Structure 1
Amino acid sequence: MSTFSMPGDAPYSYTPPLEPYLVVLHKDDEILVLAKQSGLLCVAGRPVEHSDCLESRARATFPNARIVHRLDRDTSGVIIMAMTPAAHRHLGLQFERRKIRKTYLARVWGQLAQEYGRVDLPLACHWPNRPKQMVDVDAGRPAQTDWEVVEREKNATRVRLSPLTGRSHQLRVHMLSLGHPILGDSFYATGEAFAAADRLQLHAETLTFHHPADGRICRFAVPCPF
């Protein structure tokens, strides 16, 4: 079994949740919409121990299903797969052209000073520590995230995040850049912020897109589990 170290120095092993095994929100001839669990990879990793993933589970029941976009392993929430090559191309273009709208809910450490704002900081891979990402104003790719406060807690703030771009770890790094890492984040939170939750407090709440068959606007939502 493959392991790696977490901020708390405890070894991590990949043990994806088995219940519920696969949550189908919607299925038609063109698309498959699922609710991903925290702790489950979207696609298989290189070690054989990482072969169990959302894609393999979906394709066991729906052999034609193909991944269009991904959520980080520890992020839960709504995700869409394509059922035909044409739908895959159509949805891929919507993501590329930023026509798809996504919202996330997160709990971050501390109290944000304002009620809403935008983070506009370019991101790049931190190669010595990949897959970690970092702010790189010289060589990073443009990345923008809108945020708004939903609820204030004693030591944390619940926020709604709307990514305008789709960079790897974008929401996690952008919240860190504000001095408010997402609770339970094994890559970017340390100390009390990491220990404050037993899972990454990031959830893909809604996904809005044009249906590849007829262009109608579709919106799917998954209630936040935390």
Structure 2
Amino acid sequence: MNAEEIVSRLLYRDALMLVIDKPAGLPVHPGPKGGETLFHHLDALRFGLPRRPEVAHRLDKDTSGCLVLGRHPKAIARLNELFRKNEVDKVYWAVVEGRPHEDEGEIDLPLAPKSPDRGWWMKVDPKGQPSLTKWRVLGRTEGLTLLDLRPITGRTHQLRVHCAAMNFPILGDPIYGTAPRFNGPGLHLHARSITVPLYPKKEPIFVEAPVPEHMRERVRACGVIPDEPKVREGNP
């Protein structure tokens, strides 16, 4: 990915915050194995400011969609506070295997690391941290369901573990689901929209990311037509 490509994925920009449509497969932070990450492209998103923006929250490598960045230290501190207090509304779309019996519900299952050696590998554990996800069905087809997922807490891999624990794992998940490790359909989990109450005296900022290419066919099969992104307030 080059500078032009990362700039083309900009969904929202104002003096404090950027929101980009992170592609699936691109890690946000450098890892022990090296390789390309979003961190390597942040200079392209300075837009005249003296320093590069910083990521305000996490998205898994294989999750696509809305990712928030703060443009300078005060903005980053403000965004970190909003995420810490769970005041940012995050909506994910996921194509899952199976057909949940209900049309909506909550998953209230505490989560803890599965292994001390790999802190990102999570499991349901009564002694773990409280974790809550709200979900509702957006559409169905044979063997697959499109869900709207709202994580009330923000635990590592929360949506992936919660869906798997309810016997409707996310399609393309090689860790908690049934997908092969290589050559699978890709993780069908997308950070669809984000609502950030950034300015106290203004309406919250709402940003929506388009459905990624690898999910479009199955989203359409579930009866939902993938649309173009919508942005409110400060469209760049």
TM-score bracket relative to the smaller structure: 0.7 to 0.9
Kindly state the Cα deviation for residue 61 of structure 1 after the two structures are TM-superposed: 3.7
Alignment of 1:35 onto 2:24: no
Instruction: Calculate percent identity across the aligned residue pairs.
Output: 33
Alignment of 1:106 onto 2:94: yes
Residues 111-166 of structure 1: per-residue CA shift (max 9 Å, x gap): 1111110000000111167221000012x001000000111111111110001000
Q: Letter of the 1:223 partner, please give it.
A: P
TM-score (norm 2): 0.81
User: Quick check: 2:107–2:162 contact (8 Å CA) kept in 1?
Assistant: yes
Paired with 2:148 and 2:179, the residues of 1 have a C-alpha distance of 24
Counterpart selection for 1:207 from 194, 209, 219: 194
Task: Indicate the residue corresponding to 2:40 in structure 1.
Answer: 56
Q: Write out aligned runs for 1:141-160 (5 A).
A: 141-160=129-148
Task: Indicate the residue corresponding to 1:222 in structure 2.
Answer: 209
Long gaps (5+) in structure 1:
1-16
Paired with 1:177 and 1:47, the residues of 2 have a C-alpha distance of 30
Q: Letter of the 2:71 partner, please give it.
A: M
Residues 172-220 of structure 1: per-residue CA shift (max 9 Å, x gap): 000001011101002111268x899510000000000112586541000
Residues 64-107 of structure 1: per-residue CA shift (max 9 Å, x gap): 30111010000000111000111111111111111000000001
Q: Letter of the 1:43 partner, please give it.
A: H
RMSD: 2.2
Task: Indicate the residue corresponding to 1:124 in structure 2.
Answer: 112
Kindly state the Cα deviation for residue 55 of structure 1 after the two structures are TM-superposed: 2.7
**Would the alpha carbon gap of residues 69 and 110 (structure 1) be closer, same or farther in structure 2, given more than 3 Å must change?**
same
TM-score (norm 1): 0.84
User: Quick check: 1:90–1:212 contact (8 Å CA) kept in 2?
Assistant: no
Long gaps (5+) in structure 2:
216-236
Q: How many corresponding residue pairs?
A: 206
**Would the alpha carbon gap of residues 213 and 20 (structure 1) be closer, same or farther in structure 2, given more than 3 Å must change?**
farther
User: Quick check: 2:3–2:41 contact (8 Å CA) kept in 1?
Assistant: no
Counterpart selection for 1:92 from 46, 65, 80: 80
